[in-house]
Each structure stands twice: as C-alpha cells, then as structure tokens.
Amino acid sequence: MTQMTIEIQAPAPRIDIKPRRRILYLAKQASIVLVAIALFAWLAYAIRSGLARNGINFDMGFLTQSANFDIGEGELLTLQGLRQFVSSDSNAQALFLGLLNTLKTSCLAIAAATVLGVFLGIARVSQNWLVRQLSFIFVEFVRNTPMLIQLVFWYFAVVLRMPALSDATLWLHSVLFSQQGFYFPGFEITQQPSFVGALALILVPVFLVKAWMVKSKWLTWAACATASLIVSIGSGLPLKLTLPEVSGFSVTGGYSLSPEIIALLLGLSIYTAAFLAEIVRGAINSIPKGQWEAAAALGLTRRATFRDVLIPQVARVVLPAFGNQYISLAKSTSLGIAIGFSDLFNVYGTVANQSGRSLEGMIVVMVSYLLVSWMISAAINTANKRLLKQGGVR
C-alpha cells in the first residue's frame, strides 16, 4: 500500500448534538428492551391461558410425585449410593437418572470417538495409499448419511441380530455378545475392604499419572506405584475379579452393557469420529511443509516427526473444534429415544406422558441440556487455556 495524503478541510463548527443523540439512543435501547419483555410476557401469558383452556395449571409439583414406571437402564445415584430405579421413586429422580444415563453415554462415546477419530485422521494422511483411500471412503460415507439411520442400523440390523443369550458363545470365559447385551469381566469391591489395602490401591493410579506427567523421574514414580500395589495385595486386595457366567436365560457376575447403549455408543462414536478425523486431517495439513522437511533434515523418522513435532502443534489447533463436536455428540444422545435408550429426553417423554406435564418437564430438560453443553464448553476452554500456557502461542 502506498501512503496517500489527503487534504482535509477544516471541519465546520458544529452544534453539539451529542446529549440529544445520547438520549435518543437510550430511549431506543429502553424501548427495545421493553418490547422484548412484553413479547416474552405475552408468550408466557398465551401459553398459560392455552394450558388453562385445557384445564391444566402450570405446576412443578409433579416432580415430587412418584413416577409409576420402571427404568431398566443405569443405576440411580442417591445419598445412600447407587441403586436400581423403582417405580415408587419420584419423577425428579427419574429425570435425574435420565441425565446420568446421558452423561455416562456422552463420556464413553467422547472417549471412543476421540481415539477412533484421531486414528482415522492420521490414517487420512498415511503414506500407504490403501489406508488413505479406505479411511477417506469411510469418513465420507459416515459424514454423508444421517446419524439416525446409522443409529437404527446399529440397533436393529446389528445388535439385535446377534445370537440370543442361550446360543451365544462365552469367549475366553469372560466376554459375551448377545441380543441381550454385552457382558465383560471386571473388578468388584469386596465386602469388608481393609483400610490400608484400599488406600494403597487408590495411590497406584495417582503414582502412575505422576510417572506419566513427570517424564524425567518417571522410573521413581513407577516404582512407587508398584510398591503400593504390592502393599495393597499384601494387606488383602480390596478388589475381586468377577466373570460373567451364563446360567440358563440369565447371566450372573461381571458387568454388562444393554443392547441399546451399545448401539448408541457405536452410532455416536463412529459418527463423531468421522468429523473429528476431518478436523485432525485439516490440522495436520495446515502444518507448514517446511516442518516436515526440517524434521527429515534432522534425521527424525516419520513416526518421531509425528510424535514430537506434529502432535504437540496439532493438539492445540484441534482442541476448540473438538469441543464443538463433543457438544454436538452430547446433544445427539437424545436420539436414543429412537432405539428406546432411557436417556434424559426419553425419560422426559415418559414422564410427560404419565403426568401430562409436557411443558413443565420441558423446562427442566432444556436447562439440563444447556448445563451439559456449557459444562463441556467450559471444560474445553480451560483445557485450551492450559495448553496454550504450557507451550506458549505459536
């Protein structure tokens, strides 16, 4: 740009109209707010009178009434610990269980989607032509078909087509896929855990995390973890392995996932992973080519380049976009209603049907979804800030 000189005429003396403008501005501002409030009030009034016409009063009292229906999915968190939901529990507890199911599914699906998405994204820029093309086809296919058809496909055409429980094979005495669900082994807390054993066991993951974070002295921390594990075992391990066992038409022991949650997890995580893969690919491609060449000049292998040069930069670029995908994943759990998974929206549907309180329940559900979305967004923002602080802005 070349500099240009402009001759400016001396401004003519003006009458100061600022105060008048300001008053006008404020008046407009106030009238806008008033109109908005009036509109909102009218809406509320119209809805209220509409309800009154049907003989319904706006009333939140239904929340404390008993639900009178059962929810088989998930366990209710109460002050006394986890327990199964029973039909004498209140509507509020039913909705809370729905929220817990939504949160549980979101967390599991987010974890699965992230792993799969990063993997697919790296496969999109693989050296191997076949891998590149296959992941491209997969990603495009998943992105270009509705999420709902994928979900119902997973449920009706895959999960419900698995063998019935009585015909299913128990792989390695520990894993079982069937129409009734997926069964897998796990650890259970023993009846009377010894205090020392429990404490030592809790310390093991703490030490391991420490070892992972403090790279220079990781061996010391790993040794600490091993030592506390030994102490824990010595003073009576408070955990016990449980394996699923088929007895007739039911399974005892182990842990299980219902067919609905399996289908939902598969659908959500694969769908989101495709979008995450595109984000990762975009981020990797946005790294200047010179960095690859510089890494190659330093004699780094492709893998080392990825691990030490690319990933630290890509993680920063990618995080906010990942956050958006996580939020839309959490929102998409509401599609569980199509396959009968008892998430928040589905439970709300049942509650609204049973009590006739669609509108009151709607408010509760909306606030819950807003909180979930804003929680994820806050978590991502915090993580982003920490990441930026750690490495500094590029």
Partner 1 sequence: MKNSNKPLKWMRKNLLATIGDSLLTLVIVPLLLWASYSLLHWGIGIAKWHAVEENLRVLMVGTFPAELVPQVWIAAAIMSALVGITFGGLVVASVVFSTAATSLLALIALCATYSNESAITYFCGCLAVGVIAHSVSLKVPKVKKYAVLLWCVGFIGISALVAPAGWDRVGGLMMSVLFTLVASVLSVPLGVALAFGRRSKYAGVQVICTFYIEVMRSLPLILVVYCIWVVTPLLSPGYPGPDLVRGLLGFTLFFAAYVAEYVRSGLQSVPKGQIEAAQSLGMTPYYINRDVVLPQALRVVVPALVGNVLDIFNTVPLLFIIGITDFLRAGQMILVNPQSGGYTYEIYLFMFAVYLAIASVITFGARRLEARMAGDHR
Interface residues toward partner 1, by CB under 8 A:
25, 28-29, 32-33, 36, 43, 46-47, 50-51, 53, 127-131, 134, 140-141, 144-149, 152-153, 156-157, 161, 327, 331-332, 334-335, 337-338, 345, 358-359, 362, 365-366, 369-370, 373-374
Q: At its nearest, how many Å lie between partner 1 and the CB of residue 123?
A: 10
Q: Is 235 in a helix, a strand, or coil? A: coil
Q: At its nearest, how many Å lie between partner 1 and the CB of residue 131?
A: 6
Residues paired with 276 in a beta bridge: none
Spatial distance between the Cα atoms of 100 and 110, rounded to a whole number of angstroms: 15
Q: At its nearest, how many Å lie between partner 1 and the CB of residue 50?
A: 3
Amino acid found at 324: N
**DSSP summary character for residue 287:** S
* Closer of 23 and 47 to partner 1 (Cβ): 47
Give the position of tokens 């990441």.
387
* Closer of 3 and 127 to partner 1 (Cβ): 127
Q: In Å, how far are 31, 43, 166 from 246, measured between CA atoms?
A: 70, 57, 8
Spatial distance between the Cα atoms of 179 and 368, rounded to a whole number of angstroms: 32
Q: Which residues contact 275 (CB under 8 A, 6 or more apart)?
A: 117, 143, 325
Exposed, middle or buried: residue 176 (CB in 10 Å: 0-12, 13-18, 19+)? Answer: buried
Q: At its nearest, how many Å lie between partner 1 and the CB of residue 374?
A: 7
Q: In Å, how far are 179, 222, 353 from 160, measured between CA atoms?
A: 5, 44, 27
* Closer of 123 and 198 to partner 1 (Cβ): 123
* Closer of 131 and 208 to partner 1 (Cβ): 131
Q: At its nearest, how many Å lie between partner 1 and the CB of residue 106?
A: 12
* Closer of 11 and 248 to partner 1 (Cβ): 11
Q: At its nearest, how many Å lie between partner 1 and the CB of residue 353?
A: 12
* Closer of 129 and 249 to partner 1 (Cβ): 129
Neighbours of 72 (CB within 10 A): 10
Spatial distance between the Cα atoms of 373 and 335, rounded to a whole number of angstroms: 16
* Among 373, 352, 374, 375, residue whose Cα is nearest residue 362: 352
* Closer of 179 and 190 to partner 1 (Cβ): 179
* Closer of 128 and 216 to partner 1 (Cβ): 128
Q: At its nearest, how many Å lie between partner 1 and the CB of residue 359?
A: 7
* Closer of 203 and 277 to partner 1 (Cβ): 277
Structure tokens at 390: 């750690």
Neighbours of 341 (CB within 10 A): 28
Give the position of tokens 């039909």.
87
* Closer of 174 and 358 to partner 1 (Cβ): 358
Q: At its nearest, how many Å lie between partner 1 and the CB of residue 211?
A: 28
Residues paired with 170 in a beta bridge: 176
**DSSP summary character for residue 338:** G
Q: At its nearest, how many Å lie between partner 1 and the CB of residue 152?
A: 7
Q: At its nearest, how many Å lie between partner 1 and the CB of residue 377?
A: 8
Helices (H), 235-357: 259-286, 289-297, 302-304, 311-332, 344-355
Structure tokens at 104: 């549980």
Structure tokens at 334: 């509401």
